[in-house]
Structure 1
């Protein structure tokens, strides 16, 4: 299930020391030494000056600040490494929200990457957690997916949580007061789609056991990037596309990479396997 850590510690570390820890993990960020990484993030949380200093330094160079922060006004990127990124996210209570579109509140969704987070300031948002089996999910809009409720957590100051990519679904509810979280995101995104879900009959006393896919939020688009890579002389592009097309558990991912391969080599182009899936799905809520 989704992982949570509660550390009783008062010592703080510098941002550079935290970056050094995650850099040392290389390609295994959020895979190896996960307990240690959670403790490092908790100790960074104890540093009450680094965030202000980091944002102040960025704001001295507005072009760099805008380049690092192309996201919503809620999110500030603090560091981008070879295999991970660190960001801060601001959470506002309902009375202080300027736009509901900025905050992903009360929308059940997953991520296709692992995300380690800690409450840095304020009471934090409340989140309801569920898990599902991505490998057995076709991924079409309207598909009904079995889910298992994992309870609720509050991202209070100092609490560390891990959202597992393509496995955990979470719903965030507005915090009671201004809050900030720190996130470490693995750059090793799974070649999976990310979904927004609608939970079936979910209540505080009777958690949902099923969810319906409402939207496909993201997914790989390999055709353009593979053509560009091939044009720039990147070696073995067709072989790499074939490797993913043969091995991906997600049928839509296999199809996307097979289409990219066909586009690149002039081979046959198969039709999507789930065009009529909505007509087949007769399950009721």
Structure 2
């Protein structure tokens, strides 16, 4: 199920440079988002307290939403290894065009473990769910039982963790430009990814699209998954 650390950064804790987080991730290998999850969340929250973590030039970028799907202009890779990726994501209030670029409102799971922290802005809202997936592929139009975990806002210093193949979320546009920093751990096996339609009158979700199972080992693999999700969502939009 999703894990949340509210205002995880202790006001008495010193801000942490991203290089220290990288040392932590390198030393723990796969345990960083496993048995050492709490420790990693605290360190990521401290990175979010470092006002010099992200160059001001990035936060002040003027991004053309029409080009986001082409060059992924709202995502910036901060560090990458063969096991994990640290990236910054700029989330913009919706004007209609950005909905497609950010997959706002679309319920989906992931084929990788994800930990993210709010850095600036009010943060996006997201509805959280989980199901007994364990990484298996579901069929289109299949109905699955879900657990509802409420609505959550990725405010500065707040940390969210989503497990591959079992946690679902549907993000909603923030009221102001917001920035998050996240850690993605590449899967050691091939995972499918799914889009869902959450049923409002029951604890059920219907699979609206099954994305091709793929291994995720780098940023390009992530981009391929994201672009496929956009295409699948567009194909299933009502006329």
Q: TM-score, normalised by structure 2?
A: 0.78
Runs of 4+ in structure 1 off by over 6 angstroms are none
- SS, match of residue 4 in structure 1: strand
Residue 90 of structure 2 corresponds to which residue in structure 1? 90
Between 188-197 and 106-115, report the one with greater CA deviation.
188-197
CA shift, 1:76, in A, is 1.0
Structure 1 residues 26 and 54: alpha-carbon distance in aligned structure 2, compared to 1, 3 A threshold: farther
CA shift, 1:18, in A, is 1.1
Between 5-14 and 210-219, report the one with greater CA deviation.
5-14
Residue 102 of structure 2 corresponds to which residue in structure 1? 103
Alignment of structure 1 residues 182-193 onto 2, 5 Å: 182-193=181-192
* Structure whose residues are more often strand by fraction: 2
CA shift, 1:53, in A, is 6.9
Counterpart among 21, 32, 37 of residue 40 in structure 2? 37
Flag structure 1 segments of 5+ consecutive residues without an equivalent: 57-69, 203-207, 222-285
Instruction: Quote the Cα distance in structure 2 between the aligned partners of 1:54 and 1:176.
Output: 22
- SS, match of residue 193 in structure 1: strand
Larger Rg: 1
- SS, match of residue 111 in structure 1: coil
- SS, match of residue 51 in structure 2: coil
Are 2:121 and 1:118 aligned?
no
Kept after mapping to 1: 8 A contact 2:134/2:166: no
Kept after mapping to 2: 8 A contact 1:122/1:177: yes
Structure 1 residues 50 and 137: alpha-carbon distance in aligned structure 2, compared to 1, 3 A threshold: closer
Q: TM-score, normalised by structure 1?
A: 0.66
Residue 64 of structure 2 corresponds to which residue in structure 1? none
Instruction: Quote the Cα distance in structure 2 between the aligned partners of 1:138 and 1:107.
Output: 19
* Structure whose residues are more often helix by fraction: 1
Instruction: Quote the Cα distance in structure 1 between the aligned partners of 2:199 and 2:84.
Output: 34
Are 2:180 and 1:181 aligned?
yes
Q: What CA deviation, in whole Å up to 9, does each residue of 1:217-254 have, x standing for no partner?
A: 34138xxxxxxxxxxxxxxxxxxxxxxxxxxxxxxxxx
Alignment of structure 1 residues 1-285 onto 2, 5 Å: 1-6=1-6, 7=8, 8-9=10-11, 10-52=13-55, 72-95=72-95, 98-135=97-134, 139-201=138-200, 208-220=202-214
Q: What CA deviation, in whole Å up to 9, does each residue of 1:98-153 have, x standing for no partner?
A: 43321120000000211000000110011111111114965111111111111111
CA shift, 1:173, in A, is 0.7
Instruction: Quote the Cα distance in structure 1 between the aligned partners of 2:212 and 2:49.
Output: 34
Instruction: Quote the Cα distance in structure 1 between the aligned partners of 2:71 and 2:185.
Output: 17
CA shift, 1:37, in A, is 0.3
CA shift, 1:188, in A, is 2.5
- SS, match of residue 44 in structure 2: helix
Instruction: Quote the Cα distance in structure 1 between the aligned partners of 2:162 and 2:78.
Output: 20
CA shift, 1:190, in A, is 4.2
Kept after mapping to 2: 8 A contact 1:54/1:78: no
- SS, match of residue 102 in structure 1: helix
Instruction: Quote the Cα distance in structure 1 between the aligned partners of 2:144 and 2:189.
Output: 19
Kept after mapping to 2: 8 A contact 1:29/1:83: no
CA shift, 1:52, in A, is 0.7
